[in-house]
Amino acid sequence: MSAPAKIPLAKRVVPFLAKWSKVGVERSIVGVKLFAANAKVELRPPTPGEVVIAAGDFAKVVKTATTFRFMNYSVKEAWVHTLVGAEIFGWFIVGEVIGKRTLRGYFP
């Protein structure tokens, strides 16, 4: 019985890479389409009606802070508000880093 013939590495790898690169391209196209659909909704500027609603919401936040109503929040509500504040702060920091184009301070 003779030993099986060895198939060169290139003949094994090229079909494998061709198959998986096609799968990668197909999946990335789906991802780009999904991003574009979400970006149309999420990245648009606010309408004048939404600005009025936001101003009213801000007034409610100020009233809550001045009357200490936040002291009556449940632990879950307080935790959610803390996480939202942390996310806003995090995106602020990301914007600062992008604006400075460095992780270091404003001065070299």
CA R_g for the chain: 27
Is the overall model pTM greater than 0.85, yes or no? no
Structure confidence by residue, pLDDT tens digits, 73-90: 999 999 999 999 999 999
pLDDT of 106 higher than 90: no
Minimal CA–CA distance to 106: which of 97, 74, 35? Answer: 97
Structure confidence by residue, pLDDT tens digits, 63-76: 988 999 889 999 99
CB 98 within 8 A of CB 92: no
CB 97 within 8 A of CB 103: yes
Residue whose entry in the numeric block shows the structure tokens 């600062």 = 96
Structure confidence by residue, pLDDT tens digits, 14-59: 888 888 888 888 889 998 999 999 999 888 999 999 999 999 999 9
Residues 6+ apart with CB under 8 A from 73: 81
Residue whose entry in the numeric block shows the structure tokens 């197909």 = 26
Rounded-to-integer distance, Cα 37 and Cα 31, Å? 10
CB 42 within 8 A of CB 50: no
Output the six-digit token pair for 94.
Answer: 């990301």
